[in-house]
Amino acid sequence: MYNNHQKFDSQSIADKVRELFSHHGIGKRQQAKELSRILELSFSHAHRKLKGQSPWTLEQINKVAAALGEPPAAIADIFPENGVVTQSMAQDAIFWIAGTQLPCVGYIGAELAEGQFVEFVALQQEGNWMIYRASEAPAGPHFCVDLIELRPGSIEDERLSIAVLDDAQQVADELTKYLNSQGFNATAFYDVGSFCQALSKSPFDGYVVDWLIGQETAQKCIETIRTSDHPDAPVLVLTGQLGTNLRESEIARAMRDYDVLGPYEKPVRLHVIEAALQRCFNL
């Protein structure tokens, strides 16, 4: 029986997509950006997919293959080598159980003969595969189900991710809460160490950083951003030190050397930061 259960492992798909990107001349630092363009995802979401941290759907596999001019089989063994599906084939589906709809991958086989008993059946409704317990399935052509693979329970967050860095915790929390209410996925940081550690694991789509963090400036953070996998992410700089020549010259140098935006004077004007981010992302 044909069964590609192992072929849809997120890490396996991610590895093959990265290999194909490299084969087509897309450098490592450009791959997440290209994937975000193809699949219309935020950069951080695309980055997680390329690291195997986010599940892949058949539709996404097909989109990437089409964009590269490759068959889907170059990414996942959706079909056997002879091109003939003998019994079952993986399909994106909705699993109806106890009145709840769960996204899943169903391994769907041949149409069932009348009177043939199985525990779960699949049928198509408006072009989509639906899976039910046989005793609860609506009328129509029923197909056998060899395997049901449930997706992670949490819904993948596709909002633009924004890191907010300010050692004044109340300021960072207030801005983070506001940006989240406006459709972003913002995370607050209060020190350079935790900020750089989070950045090393997964880049953000954008950054809002206070220039002075404790006794040090945000220059180390900005350098880390500009050498990350997403070096061209927008960086907005906040400051409450515009009255001092030293801070003004430091920020001016950072604007020239690292292409940061601002400075935006504190106390923070929430609507101004929101508008600046919207402009950066063409929202």
Are residues 69 and 171 part of one domain?
A: no
Domain boundary, last residue among 98, 123, 150? 150
Are residues 192 and 267 part of one domain?
A: yes
Q: Give me the pLDDT at residue 192, please.
A: 92
In this predicted structure, the answer to whether residue 92 has a pLDDT above a threshold of 90 is no
Considering only CA atoms, give the Rg of the chain: 24
The CATH number of the domain holding residue 61 is 1.10.260.40
Domain boundary, last residue among 20, 42, 74? 74
Is 248 a domain residue? yes
Q: What is the mean pLDDT of the chain?
A: 85
Buried b (16+ CB within 10 A) or exposed e, 20-49: bbeeeebeeeebbbbbbebbebbbbbbbbb
Are residues 191 and 122 part of one domain?
A: no
| Among candidate residues 8, 71, 68, the one with its CA nearest the CA of residue 35 | 68
- Find the range with the poorest average confidence among 7-21, 120-134, 147-161: 147-161
Q: What is the mean pLDDT of residues 192-220?
A: 92
Dump pLDDT digits (tens) for 63-84: 899 999 988 888 876 544 444 3
Is 200 a domain residue? yes
Which pLDDT band holds residue 150 (cuts at 50, 70, 90)? confident
Q: Give me the pLDDT at residue 6, please.
A: 37
For the chain, give the percent of residues with pLDDT over 90: 47
> Which residue did the predictor score with more confidence, 13 or 10?
13
Q: What is the mean pLDDT of residues 193-206?
A: 92
Are residues 274 and 169 part of one domain?
A: yes
Is 201 a domain residue? yes
Are residues 264 and 198 part of one domain?
A: yes
> Which residue did the predictor score with more confidence, 77 or 177?
177
Q: What is the mean pLDDT of residues 114-126?
A: 86
Q: Give me the pLDDT at residue 126, please.
A: 82
Is 48 a domain residue? yes
Are residues 252 and 204 part of one domain?
A: yes
Distance CA 149, CA 143 (A): 16
The CATH number of the domain holding residue 203 is 3.40.50.2300
Q: What is the mean pLDDT of residues 198-207?
A: 92
Buried b (16+ CB within 10 A) or exposed e, 254-281: beeebebbbbbebebeeeebbebbeebe
Enclosing domain of residue 61: 5-74
In this predicted structure, the answer to whether residue 34 has a pLDDT above a threshold of 60 is yes
Q: Give me the pLDDT at residue 20, please.
A: 95
Q: Give me the pLDDT at residue 2, please.
A: 36
Are residues 171 and 126 part of one domain?
A: no
Are residues 30 and 58 part of one domain?
A: yes
Which pLDDT band holds residue 243 (cuts at 50, 70, 90)? low
Q: Give me the pLDDT at residue 4, please.
A: 38
Q: What is the mean pLDDT of residues 81-108?
A: 71
Domain boundary, last residue among 50, 74, 98? 74
Are residues 180 and 273 part of one domain?
A: yes
In this predicted structure, the answer to whether residue 154 has a pLDDT above a threshold of 70 is no
Is 165 a domain residue? yes
Is 83 a domain residue? no
Are residues 135 and 95 part of one domain?
A: yes
User: Model's pTM, two decimal places?
Assistant: 0.65
Are residues 170 and 120 part of one domain?
A: no
In this predicted structure, the answer to whether residue 180 has a pLDDT above a threshold of 70 is yes
Is 84 a domain residue? no
Are residues 143 and 165 part of one domain?
A: no
Distance CA 125, CA 138 (A): 10
Which pLDDT band holds residue 280 (cuts at 50, 70, 90)? very high
> Which residue did the predictor score with more confidence, 244 or 39?
39
Which pLDDT band holds residue 219 (cuts at 50, 70, 90)? very high
Is 79 a domain residue? no
Distance CA 158, CA 184 (A): 9
Structural domain total, the chain: 3
Residue 165 in contact with residue 225, Cβ under 8 Å? Answer: no
